[in-house]
Chain A
Amino acid sequence: MSRLRERFERLRAGRRKALVAYLCVGDPSLDESVALAQAAVRAGADVLELGVPFSDPVADGPVIARAAERALAAGATLPGVLEVARRLRAETDVPLVLFTYANPLLVRTLPRVVAAAREASIDALLVVDLPTEAAGELRLLAAQAGIDVVPLIAPTSTEARARAALSVATGFAYYVSVTGITGSATAPLEAASREAARLSAEHGVPVVVGFGVDSPDKARRAAGPAEGGADGVVVGTAIVKAIEGARSPAEAERAVFDLVKGLRDALDAP
């Protein structure tokens, strides 16, 4: 069974929500990203999304776009991100999702990227700008390598599109709470949570809610009730912002720990 499947089953058995933490890897440096990821895991993150910085992140708001610019300026590349994954895997068995745009994969060719991801013990791939119908080759290669491919579903997805995405989803699916970019302030989180729960129940795949989750209160609202809620929540922009605002590596690690711990506690509270 995949590491992600196992993680979600364990969470479900314990009636707990998954907390998925996104980092823009390489911001401010690859070394720091390892430490920040570990802080997130210590604070209770169940899954890590390792963001590959990209020059033209059209699905991201200004916070993550700035982080990507900093990471690229500091020399981050896809191999660098995979190196971070390798170093994390030596320390923890938390599932690792490579979160990326298509072009860094396509210029290297998909077979090579999938092989490298497997070698770095990446558990899943999430490619923001590769919708279900364009991801066929990737899914095939990933399946052969034992890697999950996580689809995105949006409020604008038709029922047919959602069904198509979920029917090929492995690991989990990511429900985007808002028609917008990352960091959107006003996401209709309760509605997203209900929709995630419905899709998850109908298709038997865990569905988490992301975009716009930046506080314990919003995490609870996005997760929804123990019965009839989402399987988990994703926090991204808030983490990246905490790192951006810190004045030292130690302060960044503390800020990430505190943020993730606050979300964890909120999700676990009865």
Chain B
Amino acid sequence: MTTLPGSFGAYGGRYVAETLMFALDELEAGARDILRTDEFQRTLGGLLRDYVGRPTALTPAPRLARALDPDGHTLGEVWLKREDLCHTGAHKINNALGQVLLAKRMGKTRVIAETGAGQHGVATATAAALLDLPCEVFMGALDVERQAPNVARMRLLGARVVPVETGSRTLKDAMNEALRDWVTNVASTAYCVGSAAGPHPYPTLVAELQRVIGDEARAQVMGATGALPDAVVACVGGGSNAIGIMRAFLDDDVSLYGVEAAGEGLSTERHAATLTRGRVGVLHGARSYVLCDDDGQIEEAHSISAGLDYPGVGPEHAHLKDTGRVTYLTATDREAVEAVDLVARRVGILVALETAHAFARVADVGRREAARRGRPASVLVCLSGRGDKDLGSIEAWRAAHGGGAR
């Protein structure tokens, strides 16, 4: 009997109250004995195809490439892996559907989830509706305000949305509250974690469910160009879309870049650049980088995008940072808003604010790769989700800060 690896180098593990240990063991057994069976994979594969709409498209973006690098010296082709085309509008559904299906097979009668931007909450509510399980979603009260459309969507889907008023009233507090609910209802309830974070086996489970992004993209780029991309870029909140696209390229000569939220700037305290500015600690059950003070108190993160507004990050990314396999960059709120504009006008896609952080660094990645390889670089971007949910946030940001196109 093989057991899933519980750690990534010095990171990961299980730092949770004893009460939850049996549930994590149970989930690990489910991930090992149910998720990996042919039958489960066939069922999930069918749902991903017929319900989610996979495989998602791979879209070339030549006008974006030219806007970012008019002379074509550094950026060759730019490819977009279109997770915005997934049902519900983001990559989150790949994971939610897999976990809710697993919960069903494990005999659970209720699912709970935390959500930041609301995308994972919507995805879980959707999967729960499809598979007929009651669903409760914990969401920071601040996020309930700034992601109102997604709150309405979850409620329409039949989920109960629980606003969380503690702490910073954002994603970390929603996860605290979800963990409290889980500890209390652990026998009946499955906790569908929304990113590649949390205690073992979540980082591994979520990465396995999201790696479909990279597996498809790798084959699609190869099919279109006959070669691998030179670099892959993804935004990093908890790290699920990033690890999902990166896992397929870990053994290739492909440079990998994660982009964290620099909020109002790394020189301020208002950012969410956990890998770039954090220190090693424990948050939400795993050892990883965290944003915390000298006393070990978790600090409030800040990002214009609710989905990146998190002071932790998945443990696999901590390991990939330390080994140097992945380079982690940052983008500010302003850069993200500007990137939303640019991609909208050059490609005709309204990307999520989270995703916009990845686009904000594509020109830099092109320059780095061109310097390294001595030719214009081809870059694959994980377009993790669509931006309809963010119209209010963008307008509010512009009203407060000015700037961006109109």
A residues adjacent to B (C-beta < 8 A)? 54-59, 61-62, 65, 69, 72, 77-78, 101-108, 128-134, 151-158, 161, 165, 176, 179-181, 184
Contact = CB atoms under 8 A, between A and B. Distances in A.
A131 B184 contact: no
B394 to A, nearest CB: 30
Contact of A181 (B18, B173, B184, B292): B184
Contact of B279 (A105, A107, A156, A180): A107
16 contacts: A58-B16, A69-B166, A77-B295, A103-B296, A107-B280, A128-B17, A129-B17, A134-B14, A151-B18, A154-B19, A156-B20, A157-B21, A161-B18, A176-B19, A180-B184, A181-B183
B180 A61 contact: yes
A84 B14 CA distance: 31
Interface stretch (B147-155, B262-270, B282-290, B335-343): B282-290
Given A62-B166, A131-B16, 18 more contacts: A54-B297, A58-B16, A58-B284, A69-B166, A77-B295, A78-B295, A103-B290, A104-B295, A104-B297, A106-B287, A130-B15, A131-B17, A131-B21, A156-B187, A176-B18, A179-B186, A181-B183, A181-B184
A159 B25 CA distance: 14
B172 A106 contact: no
Contacts of B290: 103
A34 B135 CA distance: 45
List 6 A-B pairs, minimum CB-CB distance, nearest first.
A104-B296, A154-B19, A107-B296, A180-B184, A55-B297, A103-B296
A73 B384 CA distance: 38
Interface string B16-49: 1111111100000000000000000000000000
Contacts of A156: 18-23, 186-187
B296 A105 contact: yes
B244 to A, nearest CB: 26
Contact of A108 (B23, B176, B284, B296): B296
B179 A107 contact: no
B13 interface: yes
A261 B373 CA distance: 76
A107 to B, nearest CB: 4
Contacts of B251: none
A59 B20 CA distance: 10
A179 B187 contact: yes
Interface of B is mostly: mixed
Nearest to B294: A107
Interface residues of B, number: 37
B18 A131 contact: yes
B233 to A, nearest CB: 31
A184 B184 contact: yes
Secondary structure dominating the interface of A: loop
Nearest to B6: A133
Most buried by A among B166, B176, B183, B285: B183
B167 interface: yes
A179 B183 contact: yes
Given A55-B297, A56-B172, A154-B19, A181 B180 contact: yes
Contact of B283 (A56, A154, A176): A56
B296 A106 contact: yes
A101 B297 CA distance: 10
B134 interface: no
Contacts of B180: 58-59, 61, 181
Contact of A158 (B13, B22, B284): B22
B183 A131 contact: no
Contacts of B62: none
A201 to B, nearest CB: 20
A59 B296 contact: no
A134 B15 contact: yes
Interface string B144-170: 000000000000000000000011000
Central interface residue in B16, B19, B172, B279, by most chain A CB within 10 Å: B19
Contacts of A128: 17
B298 interface: yes
A80 to B, nearest CB: 9
B15 A102 contact: yes
B281 interface: yes
A154 B172 contact: no
B17 A152 contact: yes
Nearest to A153: B18
Nearest to A54: B297
A180 B183 contact: yes
Contacts of A134: 13-15
